[in-house]
Amino acid sequence: MTGLRTAIGFLTILPVAPAGQAGMAPARAWFPLVGLGLGAILLGLDTIAREALPALVVGAILVAALLVLTRAIHTEGFLDCCDGLFGAFEREERLRILRDPHVGAFAVIGGAALLLLKWSALAGLPDGARTGLLLAFPTLSRFGMVAAMALFPYARAQGMGTAFQDGRHPWQVAVAFAIAAAVAVLFLGGGGAILLGVAIAVALGLGRWVTGLLGGMTGDAYGAVNEVGEVVVLVLGIALFAAIPRVFGAPLW
């Protein structure tokens, strides 16, 4: 499956060669499946580490593992967006800053807040839904990227994200949604359906905001959608399954 191989090669550090620029659009269909794979790796690490380490250390290990497994590609996009979107007032200047390899104050502040939220959320996952949330949060956030790619134009004539625009087809979004929905409901029950809706809302909200500022999305903006989606799904998942447990139905796992 060329699309799946491309998705793995692009989204992770795993030694799977992507198919190249011409074959990128079909890979969108498998983004949530790659997210599920990442979640499974995190779940394995969590299961082993919790036998000997306190929750705060386990949370830090999971954050570090996710950064390594993804080459921090989405985190880098989030940092660039912090600088570009908050560091200028004109569209062209924002786009210029997004391409600038240097890290500014907004990126440092935003990155620190992002990693702190993600670390504390992973350290505080409730036992009753821990497995489901570890599998679901990277799955749902990556469907958020697919939704943003499908619904908003690209801001530049050239760029990494353009490869996902050429050759788009509704089946890619449908397959991605089916995978994300299956993971959410299978592992988290009714609460998972709510979290899927939240991930989509995050993608739509950020996509509309970024498009209003830049005239469209960029590769960095897709990364920001993923990172914000991960944190929101984790934090809201804790609220759903720890503060008001079993209200939304028991997960099957």
pLDDT above 70 (res 44):
yes
What confidence score (pLDDT) does residue 130 get? 95
Indicate whether 3 belongs to any domain: no
Q: Is residue 91 part of a domain?
A: yes
pLDDT band with cut points at 50, 70 and 90 for residue 253: very low
The pairs formed by 152-157 with CB atoms below 8 angstroms and a separation of 24 or more are: 152/207, 152/208, 152/210, 152/211, 152/216, 152/217, 153/211, 153/215, 153/216, 153/217, 154/216, 154/217, 154/218, 155/95, 155/211, 155/214, 155/215, 155/216, 155/217, 155/218, 155/221, 156/95, 156/216, 156/218
Least confident stretch, 8-22, 145-159, 213-227 = 8-22
Confirm whether 227 is domain-assigned. Answer: yes
Q: Which whole number is the average pLDDT over 184-208?
A: 96
Q: How confident is the model at residue 15 (pLDDT cuts 50, 70, 90)?
A: confident
Q: Which amino acid is at 136?
A: A
Residue 17 pLDDT > 50, yes or no? yes
This prediction has a pTM of 0.92
d(CA 103, CA 101): 7
Mean of the pLDDT values across residues 90-96? 91
User: By three-state DSSP, how is residue 193 classified?
Assistant: helix
Residue 128 falls within a domain, yes or no?
yes
pLDDT, average across residues 151-176? 80
Is residue 65 assigned to a domain?
yes
For residue 18, pLDDT over 90 is answered with no
How many domains is the chain partitioned into structurally? 1
Domain holding 179, by residue range, is: 29-243
CB environment 12-28: b (16+ within 10 A), e (fewer): beeeeebbeeeebbbbb
